[in-house]
Structure 1
Amino acid sequence: MATDTGVLDWLLDSDPALRWQVERDLVGAPPEVWQRTRARVPVEGFGARLLSHQDADGQWAGGAYFPAGFFDSDEAHAPGQPWTATTWSLKDLREWGVDAAHLGDTAERLAANSRWEYDDLPYWGGEVDVCINAYTLASGAWLGVDVTPLARWFVDHRLTDGGWNCEAEEGDSVRSSFHSTLNAVRGLLAYEMLTGDDSPRDARHGGEEYLLQRRLLYRLSTGELVGGFATSFVAPTRHRYSALTALDHFRDVAVHEGRAPDPRLADAVAVVRHARRPDGTWLQGAPLRGRTWFDVDAGEGEPSKWLTLTGTRVLDWWDAAA
């Protein structure tokens, strides 16, 4: 199914954080066009709004992973978690395409002022949670921090089945998790692309193989669907696994490494294709609960521009290879 001109026009009528990716990945605009749009991200729309919330000490909401005072507030007992603190804000800005230069001396301010809620550890050293360390690895590489020790942490903390699990450090699990493994390999790929250091590539490939053996969807032991989360799509995805987010990662890998799509992705592609509506859009799922600075996408059950961007580029990539 070719992307309808009306859908492209709808996608292009967007915040610069989304529009530049539509221009690059779906429209095939010349680099000078999408780069000009990308340069607008930190000065208008989502990027400018999020940058305006940064604290003088370099943090957002006064905390590393959670806002300051979170654990002493009623919010700590509510479903979900806030998405306003430093780690989530950096993740959004990086993924929206903000040039690191616009963050100024943020890396230095965080090194001086930000500590993890876990054991009061220094920010750029990471902590024990795989997903948190994946976001920190990617953000540090983006901001020019030497995070090579954190990259090696992923090599040392892979589980025997090939992936990672955020609960492993607490001794609660010796099996890898779809969520943790996808976050780990995404962070490692971002690190490699930003720094050129491919020394953790074998570890990343091992995590990707963990997901491929399960065809992004199934338990290896029984062949059953791993859980409803794999076929439920939502934007922003935050930490959550889905077949769509995983496919977008494997597309990034293929582009970066010059690979053809792995045939084991076919079932996940079929799930994404099935979710595409006749008008060429994807509907927003149930947003992850928790406070945000502001909304960046449609409400539940409405056509989602972020999901439509991701779904379309994944299918375009797969179909072009076929």
Structure 2
Amino acid sequence: MPAQALTDRLLDSDPALRWQVERDLLCEPPEVWQATRARIGAEGLGARLLALQDDDGQWAGGAFFPAGFDFHGPEAAPGAGQPWTATTWSLNTLRGWGLDPAVLRARRTAQLLAENCRWDYENLPYWGGEVDCCINAYTLANGAWLGVEVGGLTDWLVEHRMGDGGWNCEWISGSVRSSYHSTLNVLAALLEHEAATGGTAASRAARREGQEYLLARGLFRRRSTGGMVAPWVDTYVYPFRWRYSVLRAADYFRRACLQDGVSPDPRMSDAIELVRAARRPDGTWVQEGRHPGRAWFEEDVPPGEPSPWLTLYGVRVLEWWDGLAG
């Protein structure tokens, strides 16, 4: 359990974060954290984002990009950052915060999206996905969360796994090597789908093989040289969006190990030490940047300040690892 002063700081937070502190760090009984979780749709961050939902079930009038997004304008320029306001990103956020899906079911969100929401790519129907691995992963996870039949997307993801075991959204452009980012996004979605439905034999096998892609590289190394794959592996920014970090990957493996009932893989040890090294003397992790791009509102502290969200993830990962890896 973290020090009392740190615990108090984390508890003095939005319900979307507080319930996870109560459940995962303080091991409170379910009636405590479930009561806090139930507040997400009625107050704070969750209520703000729900209030921005369109009458047709979408956010910002679009599936992955806002309605009317200019793909040749300033927002689409290199380094500008894509907008984070459209439907998929908003659903990802609410799911990540732990919103009860019953709130969106009461709004008929899944049905309205089936009727009104189309992908920017070839105007394809929303719940059928399109050709991007990460987009289809998000759609699988959000559909499983909302109770939509999206099993076809598990088959699609299994079929589009690379020969080296992972995934890459650039497969359609000819890439034949997996991406850390894409692989983690797909793994997280397959895990969500398994938790909701049990998955399939093929999707469970694909998840294990995708995990092996990351574990064989220690979660951050190049297989060829053993060097760090890129500086982003230990750069910590919340919200995570689509980007990889060893912190986000370690939290995925925490959830996967708990779901599968297995111990942590020792090949993660160096990645865990990268997470540990970023912890400040007061027990917090610092917000190290901001992903560029239009957002509805800021969800965490400015860069350079101690981040409650990153601290939750960091403490949760280290307590899990230190409690079980030995």
- TM-score, normalisation: structure 2: 0.96
What CA deviation, in whole Å up to 9, does each residue of 1:38-70 have, x standing for no partner? 000011001111000000111000000000011
Q: How far apart are the structure 2 equivalents of 1:140 and 1:309?
A: 26
Write the letter of the residue equivalent to 2:22: E
Write the letter of the residue equivalent to 2:33: W
Q: How far apart are the structure 1 equivalents of 2:236 and 2:143?
A: 28
TM superposition shift of 1:198: 4.0
Contact map agreement 2:190 2:199 (CA 8 A) in 1:
no
Q: Please say if 1:23 is aligned against 2:26.
A: no
Alignment of 1:158-197 (within 5 A): 158-171=161-174, 173-197=175-199
Question: What percentage of residue pairs aligned between the two structures are identical?
Answer: 60
Unaligned ranges ≥5, structure 1:
none
Unaligned ranges ≥5, structure 2:
none
Write the letter of the residue equivalent to 2:247: L
What CA deviation, in whole Å up to 9, does each residue of 1:19-52 have, x standing for no partner? 0000000011111000000000011001111000
Write the letter of the residue equivalent to 2:321: W
Residue equivalent to 1:64: 63
Match among 253, 258, 271 for residue 256 of structure 2: 253
Contact map agreement 2:22 2:28 (CA 8 A) in 1:
yes
Q: How far apart are the structure 2 equivalents of 1:75 and 1:206?
A: 37
TM superposition shift of 1:170: 2.2
Q: Please say if 1:100 is aligned against 2:101.
A: yes
Contact map agreement 2:74 2:80 (CA 8 A) in 1:
no
Q: How far apart are the structure 1 equivalents of 2:199 and 2:228?
A: 35
Q: How far apart are the structure 2 equivalents of 1:216 and 1:232?
A: 14
Alignment of 1:1-322 (within 5 A): 3-71=2-70, 74-77=74-77, 79-103=80-104, 104=106, 105-171=108-174, 173-199=175-201, 200-321=203-324, 322=326
Contact map agreement 2:83 2:295 (CA 8 A) in 1:
yes
Q: How far apart are the structure 2 equivalents of 1:180 and 1:197?
A: 19
Q: How far apart are the structure 1 equivalents of 2:156 and 2:194?
A: 14
Q: How far apart are the structure 2 equivalents of 1:257 and 1:106?
A: 31
TM superposition shift of 1:291: 1.0
Q: Which moved more, 1:190-199 or 1:240-249?
A: 190-199
Which runs of at least 4 in structure 1 moved beyond 2 Å after TM superposition?
A: 72-78, 196-199
Figure out how many residues of one structure are paired with residues of the other and give that number.
Answer: 320
- TM-score, normalisation: structure 1: 0.98
TM superposition shift of 1:197: 2.4
Q: How far apart are the structure 1 equivalents of 2:101 and 2:244?
A: 27
TM superposition shift of 1:131: 0.7
Q: How far apart are the structure 1 equivalents of 2:158 and 2:294?
A: 34
Q: How far apart are the structure 1 equivalents of 2:128 and 2:288?
A: 34
CA RMSD of aligned residues (A): 1.0
